[in-house]
Each structure stands twice: as structure tokens, then as C-alpha cells.
Amino acid sequence: MSETGDPAPNEGPAEGADAATTERRVRREIETGRWDGVRGAALALVGVGIVARRPGLVLLGAVGVGYVLYAGVGEAPAATLDVTRTASDATPEPGDEVTVTVRARNVGDAPLPDLRLVDGVPPGLEVVDGPARVATALRPGATVAFEYAARASRGEHEWEAATAITRNPSGSRERTTAVDPVDPARIVCTPDLAAGGDLPLRGLTTRSHGRMPTDVGGAGVEFHATREYRRGDPLKRVDWNRRARTGELATVELREERAATVVLLVDARETAYAASDPAAETAVEASVGAAGQAFRALLDGGDRVGIAALGPVDCWLAPGAGTAHAARGRETLATDPALAPTPSGDRFYRSLWLRRFRRRLPADAQVLFFTPLIDDAAASIARRIDAHGHLVTVLSPDVTASGTTGERLVGLERRERLRDLRSTGVRAIEWGEESFPVAVARATSRWSR
């Protein structure tokens, strides 16, 4: 983002520097064929003029031949551009508008009579003000600058190569060039993680003390059971009432509260990049938002939390606790390429992924699985993780629409999958219109521990 290509006052300085700041690759050269037919029209006019002995028509035909000449002259010029791109804010908040300024300078010796420049806006960003494009003509040494605003969304976005389309003066030949500044703009947009209230976990816990009430007797606050007194039991845990009644010594056991190990698994396969309408938030976006809230809430509750992505790109943050871990988790959710706002396009191998995931998953970890559940594979993965002894809670953003018959069918299938999962003992929460914490609170009130 440095202003290396700043126009120098005199022409053609630092040839080497120009080559270093912008990389140019010719993508394709074509004949546009837009003047096809003018030759035939010209000769036809000349012919009619000769036959009818009308000098005007012959002259007109000759002018047509002049245009044939015009169309044939000149190659499409090389896009000898030096492009710099500046984003107004390198670390915006989600939803902020980032103003991007693009300057392109013609560093070649030939003029560019017809230049169209399309900036390579990252696919995850939406251009909100003005197209990121310009059409102009550039003399040697001249600069064109344009700016546009893009709305920042979660993730790390790096600009792609700009596309420059140059034509010769008549427009009969066209050359498309990728113009890539060596230092493309990049923005990193990291949302703050808001704690999403209390999160329901299932009764699989670690040996460390925490907040999850367990079925293990020991120290705690809630009554669990009584047992025979053993030497060494603390005096304050002796059931003195019983001693008074029956004369026997007994010890009260309290429910031990322990920490849980939780892995937040976010479905980021290509199918999960679905939204109820093209402008709406994708399921991955909703899942990542909810996972952020869960991450914060669980860490605050003293649990050990990890993050994983179900998708072609590997993403694994081992369960941990503490401030540094919180920062790492925030960073992972915000910028990990596996959770990027647009799908990576790589192939996803389910069984390979499952094997690797199981190898990494601590034995006592439970899984919060965020998935839109719009295909059978997600439900089957939830069941398989559950079958391997990790308690699974499915949290499913509802991205189905109800417009057409097909959309309603997808919604129906999804509800059927939820019911199936619940019947096999996997807990499931879905949320659509209402916020994630509200849905969690409502679902939790129904559940027994």
C-alpha cells in the first residue's frame, strides 16, 4: 500500500522500479470483428456507383474503404500500466465502508486510446458505492485514479489482479491483461466476539474443576448423595443430623462441578455457503457468528474450547483456556481461510476429514456442531461423531426459504433431519429469525441435563 508508483514529474524514470511494482500478464488477445462487413458495404457502394454511373456512390464507397483501413490499423496496445491500490482502513469493523483508491499510470511509450480497467475486488467484499471500474484513454505518463467503497465483511481479504482491457483506436482488436500490483491491498476484518449468554453443554467433562455439574460426588454446592464415613473426610461434610438420629457417621457428597472440553465444529463445506436469498448472510457466516458467541461464553465459564472446520481447508485450534487462547480463537474465527466468506472450491473428502478429526479430538471432548443441515452428509457426520463417544449438540442456522415448492421441500427435509438427529439422542437447536442466544435459552428450558 505504499505509494511507490507515485507519478514522477519527468517522464519515464526508473524503468526497473516500474517493472517491480506491477506484474502484467496477457490473458487473451482477440479480434472483436466489430468492423466486419464494412469492406463489403464499401465495395458494394462502389459497384453500384459504377453501374449506375453515380460519382457520389463511388466516393462514398471510397470513404468506406477509408474505414476499412482504419479498422485494420494498429494492434491492441499492451496495457503498460503501473497500478497502486490503497484501502482507507486496513482493519475495519464488519459492516464498515472501506474506500479504495486505485491509480493507474501509463508507463509505456504508446498512448492507450481505449482502456477499460476492472479492479479485482475480493469475492467476499461487496462494492456498495460505484462500480470498481473505469473506462478512459491514457497518454504516456498520464494517470487515471478512481475510488469506490466496499463493505467490509468478516475475514482476511486480499485484492486480486485488476483486469485491463485495451483496444486499438478503431476497437477492432482487443487485449485483456491481468495487472497485479506487487503490493495488493489487503484488509483484515476481525469481529469482536460477544458472549452469547449461558450455553448448554452435555454431561461429559474433564477432571479439572469448572462449572459443569456432574454426576460425580465430591466438593460442590449441590447435594448429590450420602455415603459411609471414611477416615479423613472433612468434618464439615459429615451429616450431623443423621449422626444425631441414628448414631452412624455419614458423609454428604456434593455434585462436583467440572470443566468441559468443547470443540466448536463449523460446517464450511461448499454446500454450507447457502443463504435464504442472494443478499442474505450465508449459513457459514451465521455459524461463525454463533460459534464466536459460544466460544466467548464457554471460555468465560471456565471450559476448554477448541475450534475446527468441517471443510476442504484444514482448520484446527486445540482446546485451551486463557486470554491468549481467547485471542487465538477470535483470530481463527475471523480470518482462518477455512472459514472464509466464500468457498475455497477445493474438493472435500469426508472420510479422510473424519479420521483426522477423530485423531485430534481429545477423548473427553464434546462437540458443538454448527451446520445448516441442508444435506444428509452433515447429519451423518453428527451421528458418527456421536457414535464415537463424543457428545454432539447440533446448532443449526435456518437458511431455508419458503418461496417455491423446491425451497419448501428443502426446508421440510431439513426439519426431518433435525427430528432424526433428536430421535437418535443428539441434541439440536435451530435458529432462524430470532438471535442465537434467544434460541439457546428457549431450547435449554426444555432439556433435562
Q: Please list every residue from 66 through 105 that binds other proteins, using CB under 8 A.
A: 66-70, 72
What residues from 327 to 346 belong to the interface with other proteins (CB under 8 A)? 341-343, 345-346
Q: Which is nearer to other proteins, 342 or 435 (CB)?
A: 342
Q: Which is nearer to other proteins, 110 or 249 (CB)?
A: 110
289 scored as a contact of other proteins (CB under 8 A): no
282 scored as a contact of other proteins (CB under 8 A): yes
Interface pick for other proteins out of 10, 28, 236, 406 (rule CB under 8 A)? 28
Count of other CB atoms within 10 angstroms of residue 155: 25
The contacts of residue 167 (CB under 8 Å, 6+ apart) are 32, 76, 113, 114, 173, 174, 175
Interface pick for other proteins out of 4, 7, 24, 39 (rule CB under 8 A)? 39
Interface pick for other proteins out of 110, 118, 238, 321 (rule CB under 8 A)? 118
- Smallest Cα–Cα separation from 168: which of 207, 111, 208? 111
113 scored as a contact of other proteins (CB under 8 A): yes
Interface stretch with other proteins, choices 132-140, 300-308, 366-374, 440-448 (CB under 8 A): 132-140
59 scored as a contact of other proteins (CB under 8 A): yes
How many alpha carbons lie under 13 Å from residue 137 in its C-beta half-sphere? 7
Listing from the earlier edge strand, what are the strands of the sheet with 392-397?
A: 316-320, 304-310, 261-267, 365-370, 392-397, 427-431
Instruction: Give, for 21, the enclosing helix (H) or strand (E).
Output: helix 15-21
DSSP structure string for 340-382: -SS-------HHHHHHHHHHHS-TTEEEEEE----SHHHHHHH
403 scored as a contact of other proteins (CB under 8 A): no
Interface pick for other proteins out of 95, 130, 322, 432 (rule CB under 8 A)? 130
Interface stretch with other proteins, choices 134-142, 352-360, 401-409, 411-419 (CB under 8 A): 134-142
**Residue 392: alpha-carbon gap to chain centroid:** 25
287 scored as a contact of other proteins (CB under 8 A): no
Q: Are strands 261-267 and 365-370 parallel, antiparallel or unpaired?
A: parallel
Interface pick for other proteins out of 4, 7, 58, 254 (rule CB under 8 A)? 58
Closest contact distance (angstroms) between CB of 181 and other proteins is: 15
Interface pick for other proteins out of 64, 92, 210, 397 (rule CB under 8 A)? 64
120 scored as a contact of other proteins (CB under 8 A): yes
Q: Which is nearer to other proteins, 80 or 166 (CB)?
A: 166
46 scored as a contact of other proteins (CB under 8 A): yes
Interface pick for other proteins out of 24, 34, 356, 360 (rule CB under 8 A)? 34
Closest contact distance (angstroms) between CB of 375 and other proteins is: 16
Cβ–Cβ < 8 Å for 320, 306: yes
Q: Which is nearer to other proteins, 37 or 234 (CB)?
A: 37
Number of residues that bind other proteins (CB under 8 A): 74
275 scored as a contact of other proteins (CB under 8 A): yes
Question: What is the contact mask toward other proteins in residues 166 to 195, using x (rule: CB under 8 A)?
Answer: ---xxx------------------------
Count Cβ neighbours within 10 Å for each residue of 195-225 and write b for 16 or more, e otherwise.
bbeebebbebbbeeebbbbbebbeebeeebe
| Residue 119 to residues 55, 101, 113, 130, 147, Cα–Cα distance (Å) | 51, 10, 19, 12, 10
The contacts of residue 392 (CB under 8 Å, 6+ apart) are 366, 367, 368, 369, 382, 383, 385, 386, 426, 427
